[in-house]
Amino acid sequence: MYDLLIKGGRVIDPLQNLDDTLDVAIIGDKIAAITEDIPRQQSQKVIDTRGKIVTPGIIDLHCHVAGSLITMSVDPDTAGVKQGVTTVVDAGSTGEAIFNGFPRYVIPSSRTRVFCFLHISSQGHSVRPELRDWQEINLDATIATIEAHRDVIKGVKIRLLGNIVASSGVEVVDMVKKTAKKLGLPIMVHIGDYYEKISPTLTQEFLPLMERGDILTHVFTAKRGSILRPDGTILPELREAMERGVVLDIAHGRRNLSYDVVRKCMDQGISPTTLSSDLTAMSLSHPVYGMTVTMTKFLALGFSIRQVIEMSTANPARAIGEEKRIGSLKPEMEADVSILEFLPGKWKLEDAEQQTIEIDRLIAPSVTVKAGQVIPAEPVAKPQPIN
């Protein structure tokens, strides 16, 4: 007997190469079976998903979910299960001095699965811009915090803006990289300096330091530090990084997604590895909303539904080293499932540069299943249609 049967939906699971009408059966918190026509009588509970899309639980690789620890944050469930997302990765809202609030307060009160990147700056985003001087970095304490929380911390974050980065440039990235490497973790590097203080050539200079599994976040930013040269061509260092297996993460946010940059990159054969929202309290109601709206934008920009789902499930799972547990609907994996639907209508969706695209279908969350628990999707904010 199954506990839950997700019946009759269009199941898209890129890792298993599936795009078909299938049923997904769950026992406890694990996927038990995925096949055609499982009888209703074999399950305690059935969710009818005809006309809907059933995918592995969506993972947001870059958002700010420190809840009440940091004012700019949202709580994990706002970015997570309330909008069809089963796993959220906090991208460095906290550094070693304040990280303890996550396991103590934020994670226990969330239904969404939560992982973190630890900011190299001790106070994380409670100081902005961070890294005003070297006293904001404590490598020993950073290493000790990571060692004590290996189950939650998946890498080290640095943003390429602020005083130290402006004065020391690639040296500070090198230091972060060496520290993370010793711990066997990737670095996540934010490009897009909206303060316009860093050297315009810094991205070219630090990209050769990045190795397989390191994450370049805000890859389609139009701000200083962009992967495009002034003539619109891609930095050769970016192409080389991509070939080495560096993760290209989009991290939409209020400031760092340009449709124009996306189109120029697509024309030159560059695709992102992962979609992510960079959701904060400031972008929740506009222009970001969250993952499904970000996925809708990339669908409208020309990526296929399969690609968009792969960039939001299997690829981010691999980026945090959790691909054996989440990111697919294979039997034995965690029973994290996103049930989505296409809403017809007309919307104008903005990037971070006040450019809009008009769309006629919106990917909307319907039901979230996290570790076998059924949670109705009730987004806190969603884009309003136009007439």
Nearer to Zn ion, 91 or 215 (CB): 91
Residues 103 and 143: beta-carbon distance below 8 Å: no
Q: Nearest to residue 60, comparing CAs of 33, 78, 42? A: 78
160 binds Zn ion (CB under 5 A): no
Nearer to Zn ion, 86 or 217 (CB): 217
How is residue 290 written in tokens?
Answer: 């969250």
State the Cα–Cα distance between residues 274 and 317, nearest whole angstrom.
10
CB of 249 to Zn ion, least distance (A): 10
CB of 38 to Zn ion, least distance (A): 41
Span near Zn ion by CB under 5 A; candidates 89-97, 148-156, 177-185, 206-214:
89-97
Q: SS3 for 164?
A: helix
Residue at shortest CB range from Zn ion = 278
Nearer to Zn ion, 4 or 63 (CB): 63
The amino acid at residue 311 is M
25 binds Zn ion (CB under 5 A): no
Nearer to Zn ion, 91 or 375 (CB): 91
CB of 78 to Zn ion, least distance (A): 15
Binding mask 263-302 for Zn ion (x = CB under 5 A): ---------------x------------------------
CB of 190 to Zn ion, least distance (A): 6
Strand-pairing partners, residue 45, are: 4
CB of 21 to Zn ion, least distance (A): 38
The residues near 312 (Cβ < 8 Å, ≥ 6 apart) are: 55, 58, 59, 60, 274, 275, 291, 295
* CA dihedral sign, ordered 87, 93, 98, 99: positive
Q: What one-character DSSP code corresponds to residue 37?
A: -
Residues numbered 165 to 204 that lie near Zn ion (CB under 5 A) are none
Q: SS3 for 269?
A: coil
Span near Zn ion by CB under 5 A; candidates 83-91, 125-133, 225-233, 294-302:
83-91
CB of 115 to Zn ion, least distance (A): 14
How is residue 259 written in tokens?
Answer: 């449709």
Span near Zn ion by CB under 5 A; candidates 36-44, 86-94, 99-107, 321-329:
86-94
Nearer to Zn ion, 54 or 352 (CB): 352
Instruction: Using CB under 5 A, count the residues that bind Zn ion.
Output: 2
In the chain, which residue ranges form alpha helices assigned H by DSSP?
Answer: 76-79, 101, 139-148, 163-168, 170-182, 202-206, 236-244, 259-267, 291-300, 305-310, 314-319
Span near Zn ion by CB under 5 A; candidates 87-95, 104-112, 223-231, 311-319:
87-95
91 binds Zn ion (CB under 5 A): yes
Say how many residues make up the chain.
387
Nearer to Zn ion, 91 or 166 (CB): 91
The amino acid at residue 195 is Y
Nearer to Zn ion, 31 or 257 (CB): 257
Rg of the chain on CA atoms, in Å: 20
Q: What one-character DSSP code corresponds to residue 321?
A: T
Phi, psi of 184 (to 5 degrees): 70, 30
Q: Nearest to residue 207, comparing CAs of 229, 239, 180? A: 239
CB of 230 to Zn ion, least distance (A): 26
Name the helix (H) or strand (E) containing 123.
Answer: none
Which residues contribute to the site for Zn ion (CB under 5 A)?
91, 278
